[in-house]
Amino acid sequence: MTSSSPPAPASPHAPQPLRPLRRLTARGRDEAHRVASPLELFFDLCFVVAIAQAGVELVHTVAAGHAGEGVLNYAMQFFAIWWAWMNFTWFSSAYDNDDVLYRVVTLVQIAGVLVLAAGISQAFTDHDYLVVWLGYVIMRLAMAAQWLRAARWARGAERTMALRYAGGVLLCLVGWLGLVVLPVPARPWVFLVMAIAEMSVPLYAEKDYTTSWHPHHIAERYGLFTIIVLGETISAATVAVKSAVAEHDALSELLPIAAGGLLIVFSAWWIYFVVPIHGHLRSNRESFLWGYGHYLIFASAASIGAGIEVAVEETVGKAHISTTAASAAVTVPTALYLLTVWALHSRHFKVGLAQQLVLPVTALLVVCCTFLGDWAVPAAGIVSALAVATGTTLTARTAGRERPAEATAAAS
């Protein structure tokens, strides 16, 4: 006769039937098998809609010869999209209880980013930020509601932290109103001040208590969003090439650009995912810099697709800029992406000077490709692919040298 041990108690955050309301309490950092939820994946896809709209407007502005204005507008609107996405991502990693109310409030945030996306064109062309601001208000009010709900169940320093988050979010909403009511020349300064204020909220809120975000979950969420952004880049470039071929019958001129762009995106994916970054996310000191730095990774990755579209339009004569300027629209964001991924990811895992220099040197060579005329984009793609091959070879050689050393140490 056999006996069975009593079942282990269920985790409070284990999968359960959907309920209207559950306690919104902190999850554990050591939770096993923590993965992105279907709601989070849906959230990411909807946010990329807004990124795509910003990319379209960036293409039109740069192709018209107003690169400085286009980049500034793009940076301002991308910040609103990215910041709302990032705040939800870290909150959900710490507090997601997947009840009905949590789902509904998250869907409200999705509605907010779609409203924001609808106002991007007006913001670019007419400097009218009203609709963008309204979309941002919807997203941020929903986020403040989540923090107030977390505060209801928290105690002590955790409750203070949640209330600081809610108060900071609401106060910043008032400041962003300056983009609507102040004159156009003052708005870049409003953006600068408010961006700093927004990024200071988490630093202030968590100075006495740290949220229990999950390193594996956070790394996965950022990785998935990177994949989605790179996928949108390929989609945008494909549509641009298809339209140009259909309207101008310029397949032979566009194939090198398409091939080079594809190599750049493939290399961007490889370089990002070559290291297990979750091991580096041990505390808020590393995670804040890592999380904030992804603004440049996401923005530059999305800009690569916009740059490829600009290069296509210049090739078929639709852009009012030089070949060098069109090439820079691809090479500059590619170089920025490579440098930022190196700074945030790769440098922590590289051994020796040769490995450390691969990405910085590649970024420099990609920028130099700008001046190769019609072959700038394919050359940048080849350089990026060679960086992947070089980095892989150097890593393999290092691993090959380490194995005999480890075996010798074990034998002795």
pLDDT digits (tens, 9 = 90+) for 163-178: 999 999 999 999 999 9
How much of the chain, in percent, has pLDDT values that exceed 70? 88
pLDDT over 70 (residue 398): no
pLDDT for residue 279: 64
In whole angstroms, give the CA distance from residue 410 to residue 412. 5
Query: Which token pair is 117?
Result: 């996306």
pLDDT in tens, 306-358: 999 999 988 888 888 999 999 999 999 999 999 999 988 777 666 678 778 88
Contact at 8 Å (CB) between 280 and 286? yes
Rounded average pLDDT over 124-137: 92
Query: Which token pair is 26?
Result: 């902190």
Contact at 8 Å (CB) between 255 and 327? no
pLDDT over 60 (residue 95): yes
pLDDT for residue 242: 81
Q: Do both 145 and 171 map to the same domain?
A: yes
Q: Do both 170 and 234 map to the same domain?
A: no
Q: Does residue 284 lie within any of the structural domains?
A: yes
Domains of the chain: total: 2
Q: Which stretches within 35-66 are classed as H helix?
A: 38-63
Q: Do both 90 and 50 map to the same domain?
A: yes
Q: Which domain holds residue 393?
A: 216-406
When pLDDT is cut at 50, 70 and 90, the band that residue 8 belongs to is very low
Let me know how long the chain is: 412
How much of the chain, in percent, has pLDDT values that exceed 90? 55
Q: Do both 344 and 295 map to the same domain?
A: yes
Q: Does residue 18 lie within any of the structural domains?
A: no
Contact at 8 Å (CB) between 264 and 334? yes
Q: Do both 246 and 194 map to the same domain?
A: no
Of 54, 75, 35, which Cα lies nearest the Cα of 125? 54
412 Cβ neighbours under 8 A, 6+ residues apart: none
pLDDT for residue 404: 53
pLDDT for residue 12: 47
pLDDT over 60 (residue 53): yes
pLDDT for residue 284: 61
Domain boundary among 194, 213, 232: 213
When pLDDT is cut at 50, 70 and 90, the band that residue 98 belongs to is confident
pLDDT for residue 399: 54
Greatest mean pLDDT among 66-70, 311-315, 381-385, 389-393 lies in 381-385
When pLDDT is cut at 50, 70 and 90, the band that residue 275 belongs to is confident
pLDDT over 50 (residue 304): yes
Q: Is 191 helix (H, G, I), strand (E, B) or coil?
A: helix
Q: Does residue 29 lie within any of the structural domains?
A: no
Q: Does residue 89 lie within any of the structural domains?
A: yes
In whole angstroms, give the CA distance from residue 302 to residue 299. 5
pLDDT over 60 (residue 4): no
Q: Do both 236 and 378 map to the same domain?
A: yes
Contact at 8 Å (CB) between 184 and 127? yes
Q: Do both 278 and 377 map to the same domain?
A: yes
Which of the residue ranges 107-121, 167-181, 265-279, 289-303 would you say has the lowest mean pLDDT? 265-279
110 Cβ neighbours under 8 A, 6+ residues apart: 42, 43, 46, 47
When pLDDT is cut at 50, 70 and 90, the band that residue 81 belongs to is very high
pLDDT over 50 (residue 231): yes
Q: Do both 347 and 363 map to the same domain?
A: yes
Of 244, 169, 229, 167, which Cα lies nearest the Cα of 199? 169
In whole angstroms, give the CA distance from residue 12 to residue 303. 42
Q: Which residue has the higher pLDDT, 36 or 399?
A: 36
Domain boundary among 165, 185, 213: 213
Q: Which stretches within 278-369 are classed as H helix?
A: 284-315, 323-344, 352-368
pLDDT for residue 2: 37
Of 364, 365, 362, 376, which Cα lies nearest the Cα of 326? 376
pLDDT for residue 405: 47
Rounded average pLDDT over 16-33: 79
Greatest mean pLDDT among 14-23, 104-113, 230-239 lies in 104-113
Rounded average pLDDT over 277-303: 81
Rg (CA), the chain: 23
Domain boundary among 181, 213, 245: 213
Residue 109 Cα to chain centre, angstroms: 17
Q: Do both 241 and 362 map to the same domain?
A: yes
Q: Do both 197 and 224 map to the same domain?
A: no
Of 95, 100, 139, 96, which Cα lies nearest the Cα of 117? 139
Q: Does residue 65 lie within any of the structural domains?
A: yes
Mean pLDDT, the chain, whole residue set: 86
pLDDT for residue 280: 67
pLDDT for residue 403: 52
Q: Do both 126 and 85 map to the same domain?
A: yes
Flag whether the pTM goes above 0.85.
yes
Q: Do both 115 and 245 map to the same domain?
A: no
Amino acid identity, residue 150?
A
Q: Does residue 300 lie within any of the structural domains?
A: yes
pLDDT for residue 17: 64
pLDDT over 60 (residue 103): yes
Rounded average pLDDT over 170-189: 92
Q: Does residue 294 lie within any of the structural domains?
A: yes
Q: Does residue 12 lie within any of the structural domains?
A: no
